[in-house]
Amino acid sequence: MQIQALRVKLPIDGEEFSLEVKCDGALESGGIHIFYEIKGYGDNTNDILSAIMAAQVLREVPKYKNSIYYYIGISSAKGSNKGGLRRGHFLEEGRTKISPYVKWAESKGFLRFYGIVDIDVLLDEVKKIVHNHD
Protein backbone atom coordinates (compact mmCIF):
# COMPACT_ATOMS: atom_id res chain seq x y z
CA MET A 1 0.00 0.00 0.00
CA GLN A 2 1.53 3.34 -1.03
CA ILE A 3 0.67 6.16 1.35
CA GLN A 4 2.19 9.53 2.11
CA ALA A 5 0.53 10.13 5.45
CA LEU A 6 -1.84 8.29 7.70
CA ARG A 7 -4.39 10.09 9.85
CA VAL A 8 -4.93 8.65 13.31
CA LYS A 9 -7.13 9.79 16.17
CA LEU A 10 -5.73 9.89 19.70
CA PRO A 11 -7.26 11.01 22.97
CA ILE A 12 -5.28 13.77 24.64
CA ASP A 13 -6.50 15.09 28.00
CA GLY A 14 -9.99 13.75 27.36
CA GLU A 15 -10.30 15.26 23.90
CA GLU A 16 -9.79 13.41 20.61
CA PHE A 17 -7.26 14.82 18.18
CA SER A 18 -6.44 13.84 14.61
CA LEU A 19 -2.71 13.46 13.98
CA GLU A 20 -0.92 12.89 10.71
CA VAL A 21 1.76 10.21 10.66
CA LYS A 22 4.17 10.39 7.75
CA CYS A 23 5.38 7.23 6.02
CA ASP A 24 6.08 6.09 2.48
CA GLY A 25 4.10 2.88 2.66
CA ALA A 26 2.76 0.06 4.77
CA LEU A 27 1.78 -3.56 4.73
CA GLU A 28 -0.20 -5.73 7.11
CA SER A 29 0.16 -9.42 7.81
CA GLY A 30 -1.53 -11.37 10.57
CA GLY A 31 -2.43 -8.22 12.47
CA ILE A 32 1.11 -6.83 12.35
CA HIS A 33 1.44 -3.51 10.54
CA ILE A 34 4.80 -2.70 9.00
CA PHE A 35 5.39 0.92 8.02
CA TYR A 36 8.40 2.22 6.13
CA GLU A 37 10.04 5.45 5.16
CA ILE A 38 12.84 5.76 2.60
CA LYS A 39 15.13 8.79 2.65
CA GLY A 40 17.73 9.86 0.11
CA TYR A 41 19.91 11.55 2.71
CA GLY A 42 19.20 9.03 5.41
CA ASP A 43 21.24 10.58 8.20
CA ASN A 44 19.34 13.87 8.32
CA THR A 45 18.59 14.66 11.99
CA ASN A 46 15.14 16.16 11.38
CA ASP A 47 14.01 13.20 9.25
CA ILE A 48 15.20 10.72 11.87
CA LEU A 49 13.42 12.55 14.70
CA SER A 50 10.28 12.76 12.56
CA ALA A 51 10.37 8.99 11.98
CA ILE A 52 10.85 8.32 15.70
CA MET A 53 7.84 10.50 16.49
CA ALA A 54 5.73 8.82 13.79
CA ALA A 55 6.59 5.36 15.13
CA GLN A 56 5.75 6.43 18.69
CA VAL A 57 2.38 7.86 17.67
CA LEU A 58 1.48 4.69 15.77
CA ARG A 59 2.12 2.60 18.88
CA GLU A 60 -0.45 4.69 20.76
CA VAL A 61 -3.23 3.71 18.33
CA PRO A 62 -4.80 0.39 19.41
CA LYS A 63 -4.96 -0.90 15.82
CA TYR A 64 -1.21 -0.31 15.38
CA LYS A 65 0.04 -1.14 18.89
CA ASN A 66 2.11 -4.05 17.54
CA SER A 67 3.41 -2.17 14.52
CA ILE A 68 6.99 -1.71 13.51
CA TYR A 69 8.36 1.20 11.52
CA TYR A 70 11.40 0.88 9.27
CA TYR A 71 13.55 3.85 8.37
CA ILE A 72 15.73 3.21 5.32
CA GLY A 73 18.52 5.61 4.43
CA ILE A 74 20.08 5.64 0.96
CA SER A 75 23.09 7.93 1.30
CA SER A 76 24.72 10.40 3.63
CA ALA A 77 24.52 14.17 3.48
CA LYS A 78 28.01 14.09 4.97
CA GLY A 79 29.47 12.42 1.90
CA SER A 80 31.51 10.08 4.12
CA ASN A 81 30.03 6.89 2.71
CA LYS A 82 30.22 6.74 -1.02
CA GLY A 83 28.86 3.18 -1.13
CA GLY A 84 25.62 4.07 0.66
CA LEU A 85 24.43 4.01 4.23
CA ARG A 86 24.74 0.94 6.41
CA ARG A 87 22.73 0.08 9.49
CA GLY A 88 25.82 0.64 11.63
CA HIS A 89 26.10 4.26 10.50
CA PHE A 90 22.94 5.15 12.44
CA LEU A 91 24.33 3.62 15.62
CA GLU A 92 27.87 5.04 15.58
CA GLU A 93 28.36 7.46 18.41
CA GLY A 94 30.12 10.56 17.22
CA ARG A 95 29.12 10.00 13.60
CA THR A 96 25.81 11.75 14.14
CA LYS A 97 24.39 13.53 17.16
CA ILE A 98 21.25 11.47 16.66
CA SER A 99 22.71 8.04 17.52
CA PRO A 100 21.44 8.05 21.16
CA TYR A 101 17.88 8.66 19.86
CA VAL A 102 18.27 5.87 17.31
CA LYS A 103 19.50 3.47 20.00
CA TRP A 104 16.63 4.46 22.32
CA ALA A 105 13.97 3.98 19.61
CA GLU A 106 15.37 0.59 18.63
CA SER A 107 15.60 -0.52 22.27
CA LYS A 108 11.85 0.17 22.61
CA GLY A 109 11.17 -2.10 19.62
CA PHE A 110 8.94 0.21 17.58
CA LEU A 111 11.45 1.41 15.02
CA ARG A 112 14.38 -0.10 13.12
CA PHE A 113 16.99 1.72 11.09
CA TYR A 114 18.64 0.31 7.98
CA GLY A 115 20.89 1.60 5.26
CA ILE A 116 20.38 0.74 1.62
CA VAL A 117 23.48 -1.46 1.73
CA ASP A 118 21.66 -3.69 4.27
CA ILE A 119 18.45 -4.09 2.27
CA ASP A 120 18.78 -7.90 2.11
CA VAL A 121 19.01 -8.10 5.91
CA LEU A 122 15.96 -5.86 6.23
CA LEU A 123 13.94 -7.99 3.80
CA ASP A 124 14.90 -11.17 5.70
CA GLU A 125 13.76 -9.55 8.95
CA VAL A 126 10.40 -8.53 7.46
CA LYS A 127 9.92 -12.03 6.04
CA LYS A 128 10.48 -13.52 9.50
CA ILE A 129 7.99 -11.11 11.08
CA VAL A 130 5.36 -11.90 8.45
CA HIS A 131 6.02 -15.65 8.63
CA ASN A 132 5.79 -15.72 12.44
CA HIS A 133 2.42 -13.93 12.46
CA ASP A 134 0.62 -15.73 9.62
Kindly report, residue by residue over 84-107, the tens digit of the pLDDT: 788 888 888 776 678 888 999 999
CATH of the domain at 101: 3.40.1350
- CB contact set of 85 (below 8 Å; sequence gap of 6+): 42, 43, 73, 74, 75, 76, 115, 116, 117
What is the C-alpha separation between 43 and 89, in angstroms, rounded? 8
Range of the domain at 129: 5-133
pLDDT in tens, 38-75: 988 777 888 889 999 999 999 999 989 989 999 998 88
Q: What is the mean pLDDT of residues 102-119?
A: 90
Q: Tell me what pLDDT residue 54 has.
A: 92
Give residue 85's pLDDT: 82
Number of domains in the chain: 1
pLDDT of amino acid 17: 92
